[in-house]
Amino acid sequence: MHTFSRTSNNPNLTDLMEENDIWINPKVAKIWGLKNGQKIWLKNQDNAVSSFPIKIRITERIRWDSVYMVHGFGQTQKELSRAFGKGASDTEMITQVMVDPIMGGTGLRGNFVTFLLDEPIKAVES
């Protein structure tokens, strides 16, 4: 639905989907004790934590070793009023980018996340 972050504040697209959710396989949800609609935060392999929580969608439509969420949500700029704080930003979780040495294409799927069930404590800016 979204093309980069250029369409995040588009009212027509917001009418189709107000907020993203994270798809989690039932096997993983059972192990973690997760419920549909529950909000969690994400943390990646480099300790990057999502700025906002995301709702869980338990579904067989995702492999047990993967998660999925729609791009364009969880914006941190308040001016993007339709996407600000709505779900989590997949971009925040991408800290590892692999570059093909021959053609220069980038791979973003080498990042891993875990779930934080409680709101993470944010460092106080001074």
CATH of the domain at 106: 2.40.40.20
Q: Measure the CA angle with vertex 93, ends 87 and 98; round to 5°.
A: 145
pLDDT beyond 60 at 126: no
121 half-sphere exposure, CB direction, 13 A CA radius: 2
Place 122 in a pLDDT band, splitting at 50, 70 and 90. Answer: confident
Does some domain include residue 6? no
Does some domain include residue 124? no
Count of domains observed in the chain: 1
Classify residue 10 by its DSSP letter: -
Does some domain include residue 5? no
Does some domain include residue 121? no
Average pLDDT, the chain: 90
Instruction: State pTM to two decimals.
Output: 0.88
CB neighbour class for 4 (10 Å; exposed up to 12, middle 13-18, buried from 19): exposed
